[in-house]
Structure 1
Amino acid sequence: MKIIFPKFDKWGMPLVGLAAAVYFIMEARKPLRPRTRPKPERLLINGSVAAAALPALRLLLVPGMYAAGRWAEKQNFGLLAWLRLPTWLRYAIGFLLLDYTNYLWHVLLHKSDVLWRFHQVHHSDLDLDLSTAWRFHIGENIASVPYRGAAIALMGAPSSLVLFYEVIFEACTAFHHANWQLPYPVERRLNQVLVTPRMHGIHHSIVAQETNSNFSVIFSWWDRLHQSLRLNVPQQKVVIGVPAYRDPKEQTPKKLFWLPFTAIRPWQLPDGTVPERDEKTKYSSTHLCP
């Protein structure tokens, strides 16, 4: 299986790194939400989790997705091949389908108890910022290989498009996890098309109805289509994390690695209360709050 992609590694990943550097600077200058834990502590924890997960992404997931695309091309297999579309239209529709299947995968991560065991490592972060964008358990990255590979083969996405999409996917994931306070009018307009920090911040709330919303990765359209969009929570009222994991002592890299292999805790705070949103604070669900 091919694992070396010169353009992807020489141009794609450095561009993602440059974008991440901009987000890192901007979230320090104009934070969206106040931090609850020391930044060095979280960088060490999230960096340790990412150090195990990123090799799986680069050496297994990316090659696996590329191989699925190459196989579909050689076999003339998949929806896009069967439709016999012009090249530009095949790539445009393929990009949208790649993003839509990732929306469905994200929903599955929340609905499946097995997959949630791994995905809650990402959600249990007590703050949300750029470092959270790579805080994924290695098991989640491995589990995504068969799903994303099968989706690519079935749609017949060209292998070059798969690599291009992955660059945009990683850059957008970093963007909407960043704790960056964009000017509200700008973000509100941008959110009509793309997932933004305010939108994704709600997805990381300890309130269950908010966590189970805003699953889109690049385009916000999929949440609008499936009515899983929730924009009605002011950012200063969002509490980040999973309610059962509020103790910073449980945030060590070792405990986070073993978290998927422990019993799933009920969605409640340590004192037994279930986080809910006071109805009086609700805004229109289709309008992004400041």
Structure 2
Amino acid sequence: MKIMFPKFDKVGMPLLGVAAAALFVLEAKRQLRRRTRPKSERLVENGSVAAAALPALRLLLVPGMYAAAKWANRRNFGLLAWLPGWGRYTLGFLLLDYTNYLWHVLLHKSDLLWRFHNVHHIDLDLDLSSAWRFHIGENIASVPYRSGAVALLGVPAPLVLFYEVIFEGCTAFHHSNLRLPYKVEKQLCKLMVTPRMHGIHHSIVARETNSNFSVIFSGWDRLHQTLRLNVPQHAITIGVPSYRDPAEQHPVRLLRLPFEKQRLWQLPDGTVPEREELQEKHLLLP
């Protein structure tokens, strides 16, 4: 199985690095939500989780998806095999993004997969570092799903690498704590996932967490009626209600978390976080 991709590593990865550096500076200058914990502590915690997970992404997931695409391309196999040229690339890009919307929904609906995805959600703040805070088990579990989706679609192999760069860039963008001008973001989220939109997904209110599953294009949430924009950022508490103790954010504990008994969705005092439902779910609030 091929694991070296010169353009991906020499062009795509440096571009992602530049984008991440820019977001790191900008989110410090234009903060969207007030932090609850020291940034330095969270960088160590999230960086430690990422250090285990990112090699699995680069050495297993990316090669696995590329190999699945090459297999399908050689056999003229897949939903899009009949499409010519740019049609295959354009529709392929859209459908790859749709399959990742479905994967994200599955991460929340499956008790087994949630054990791993929960490591991402119990972060008590949300910023750029959260974009790489995924348990290695989640990345490994995504290999058969995402590779299978690539094969069934029959997308061109080069598109897999291009999409992954955009996927990672958008993941970094919408996890960032960057405060965009409200009028700009109000229009931007009609097309793509933005920091305010994804911030709602990380709320301790269950119905808010179970919304806004899209990765790049926000249209998938509109299509499936899982879009929620009507929660002001200052009212959001980031995290999972049953994991509010900063001491539980230690990297070793985070790596062990999927193999421990999962707690009910409630605060330490036993109450379940709720919020009065506002009208116009599709209206982005500041």
Bucket of the pairwise TM-score, normalised by the shorter protein: over 0.9
- The one-letter amino acid of 1:44's match is V
- Structure 2 residue aligned with 1:128: 126
Could you list the per-position Cα deviations for residues 207-266 of structure 1 after superposition, in whole angstroms to 9, with x for gaps in the alignment? Answer: 000000000000000000000000010000000000000000100000000000011110
- Structure 1 residue aligned with 2:85: 87
1:182-261 alignment, distance < 5 Å: 182-261=180-259
1:264-283 alignment, distance < 5 Å: 264-279=262-277, 282-283=278-279
- Structure 1 residue aligned with 2:168: 170
Paired residues of 1:233 and 1:283 also in contact (CA < 8 A): no
CA distance in 1, matches of 2:242, 2:2: 42
CA distance in 1, matches of 2:20, 2:100: 21
- Structure 1 residue aligned with 2:13: 13
- The one-letter amino acid of 1:62's match is V
CA distance in 1, matches of 2:282, 2:242: 29
Query: How many pairs are equivalent?
Result: 286
Which runs of 5 or more structure 1 residues have no equivalent in the other structure?
A: none
The alpha-carbon distance between structure 1 residues 283 and 39, as it changes in their structure 2 partners (threshold 3 A), is: farther
CA distance in 2, matches of 1:130, 1:96: 25
Which runs of 5 or more structure 2 residues have no equivalent in the other structure?
A: none
Paired residues of 1:102 and 1:217 also in contact (CA < 8 A): yes
Paired residues of 1:283 and 1:289 also in contact (CA < 8 A): no
Paired residues of 1:203 and 1:211 also in contact (CA < 8 A): yes
Paired residues of 1:133 and 1:174 also in contact (CA < 8 A): yes
Paired residues of 1:69 and 1:159 also in contact (CA < 8 A): yes
CA distance in 2, matches of 1:98, 1:15: 21
- Structure 1 residue aligned with 2:152: 154
- The one-letter amino acid of 1:194's match is M
CA distance in 1, matches of 2:26, 2:236: 20
- The one-letter amino acid of 1:287's match is L
CA distance in 1, matches of 2:223, 2:142: 23
Runs of 4+ in 1 over 6 A off after TM superposition: none
- Structure 2 residue aligned with 1:55: 55
Q: 2:80 aligns to what SS in structure 1?
A: helix
- Structure 2 residue aligned with 1:74: 74
Quote how far apart the aligned CAs of 1:86 are.
Answer: 2.2
Could you list the per-position Cα deviations for residues 24-73 of structure 1 after superposition, in whole angstroms to 9, with x for gaps in the alignment? Answer: 11100000000000000000000000000000000000000000000001
Percent pairwise identity: 74
2:281 corresponds to 1:285? yes
CA distance in 1, matches of 2:267, 2:83: 52
- The one-letter amino acid of 2:76's match is N
Name the TM-score, length of structure 1 as normaliser.
Answer: 0.98
Could you list the per-position Cα deviations for residues 106-152 of structure 1 after superposition, in whole angstroms to 9, with x for gaps in the alignment? Answer: 00000000000000000000000000000000000000000000000
Could you list the per-position Cα deviations for residues 56-110 of structure 1 after superposition, in whole angstroms to 9, with x for gaps in the alignment? Answer: 00000000000000000111100111xx222111100000000000000000000
Name the TM-score, length of structure 2 as normaliser.
Answer: 0.99
- Structure 1 residue aligned with 2:142: 144
CA distance in 2, matches of 1:91, 1:61: 20
- The one-letter amino acid of 2:35's match is R
What is the CA RMSD across the aligned residues, in angstroms? 0.6
- Structure 2 residue aligned with 1:46: 46
Quote how far apart the aligned CAs of 1:278 are.
Answer: 2.5
- The one-letter amino acid of 1:134's match is W
